Homo-oligomer: A and B are copies of this chain.
Amino acid sequence: MEDEGFMRLALELAKKGEGRVNPNPMVGAVIVKDGRIIGMGYHERFGDKHAEVNAIEDAKKRGNSPKGATMYVTMEPCSHRGKQPPCADRIIREGISRVVVAMEDPNPLVNGRGIRKLKSAGVEVRVGVLEREARELNEVFIKYITTRVPFVAVKLALTLDGFIATRSFSSKWITGERARMKVQELRRRYMAVMVGANTILRDDPELTCRISGCTDKVKVILDRHGLTAGGNFRAFKEGRVLVFTESEKEWNKGEVIRETDPGKILKILGEKGIDSVLIEGGRAACQFLPFADRLHLFYGNKLFGKGISPFECLNVDRVEDAFRVDFRGFENFGDSFYVEAIPCSRE
């Protein structure tokens, strides 16, 4: 029980790195000696020091020696040299005598090696404390590191009767202010934002995350027919922009890739180091549904009767053949509500 309490704190710390560590995992670490916390740290930004080292340095800065202490860390300490030296070695060198780990590192380069290294140096290791919570926290990292395909999240703002726009493509605003704030939070969680060309033409969005401290999003634009070529749109103003197209037209800015197959687009994004993408692009989203790991559905307090449906590419004739989801969460925003769902295999 005591282990769980300290691990929960480590998970809280880990979460502070959200949106800044991709494609690394969020990791938090807490060092405890004689029942007292002597050091805390988390992985703050991609390329920076790991959580374990930050916690050790925090302890020392506060005049505490980690020797003989217990370290709580939300993911197995690394055993390989990446951008940072291996944490397992540092833990051993500091004389930490016990390490409690929430989950093994799913990275094939680590995957148990860090734990084995600690154990063979005589460190006591306990694995699996709040493992479910740790896996949920790092679902993006886990998918990407094991498949090299980005985590795919689809966000849609819908009327109560399932439309993203009226017949005449009017869509501002279906949901309320608080729902749109939540969308900003979602953008922080994912490394890239994807929309279709029509969204660029109609709404000219910046596709930035307006939460302070949030890193720039990679902007992915699906533009089969080259409708945005030559245009002067806000999404192209700053940051990294990728355009996927069949068109031979020229773009003034951004990287242009001649590919429009959804599966291949995702593979290319993965190869470019993009661990996650939030698809916000109305009807363009539909073709990515078979690849979706998560649906973020926002329902406004409106009915249109007829309009633009974002799921039209699904062609279900019998209820048994429906695209099914498991609900993961609900949130009530007063004038709109939010449903988080995980696509599941068909019945």
A residues near B (Cβ < 8 Å) are 158-163, 166-168, 170-174, 286, 289, 297, 299, 301-307, 309-319, 322-327, 330, 332, 334-335, 337, 339, 341
Contacts and interface: CB of A to CB of B under 8 A. Distances in A.
B301 A306 contact: no
Given A319-B171, A334-B327, A163 B162 contact: yes
A319 B308 CA distance: 12
Contacts of A286: 305
Number of copies: 2
Instruction: For the complex of A and B, list the 7 residue pairs with the smallest distance between their C-beta atoms, beginning with the closest.
Output: A305-B314, A162-B162, A302-B322, A161-B162, A303-B323, A304-B316, A305-B311
Contacts of A318: 166, 168, 170
Given A297-B160, A309-B161, A332-B330, A302 B317 contact: no
Contacts of A307: 316
Contacts of A337: 327, 330, 339
A302 B324 contact: yes
A96 B159 CA distance: 54
A304 B313 CA distance: 9
A83 B314 CA distance: 58
Contact of A301 (B160, B170, B324): B324
A304 B314 contact: yes
A302 B323 contact: yes
Contacts of A301: 324-327, 341
